[in-house]
Amino acid sequence: MNQTTNRLFDELARVMTNAAGAAQGVREEVEGVMRAQAERILNDMDMVNREEFDAVRDMAAKAREENERLDRRIVELESELKTLKTGKKPATRKRAPAKKA
């Protein structure tokens, strides 16, 4: 009876090992199908990838800096034009004296 029990356990262990291997294969197949489906959905949504997003963000930051620089330059040129038209220098703001404590 002892040998029969060992043989039964050996067969049971072999069946369990094969079942675990089959389950792992099914799991990998399902993951592959799900990944492909998710990629297809994202491609259909016409989303940008990270590199494109970063490039556009950098371009927007540079454009904003250039716009601010040009705004300052316009103010300077308008001030110079006003000076040339009126013949006098534009008024400059004086700093208020520091208050004593």
pLDDT tens sequence for the chain (101 residues): 556 678 888 888 888 888 888 888 889 999 999 999 998 888 888 788 899 999 999 999 999 999 999 999 999 999 999 999 987 665 555 555 555 54
Provide the residue range defining the domain that includes 77: 48-84
Residue 43 and residue 5 share a domain: yes
Q: Are residues 1 and 43 in the same domain?
A: yes
| 38 and 47 Cβ atoms separated by less than 8 Å | no
- The separation between the first and the last C-alpha atoms of the chain, rounded to the nearest angstrom, is 103
pTM attached to this predicted model: 0.43
Structure tokens at 6: 């060992």
Q: Structural domain tally of the chain?
A: 2
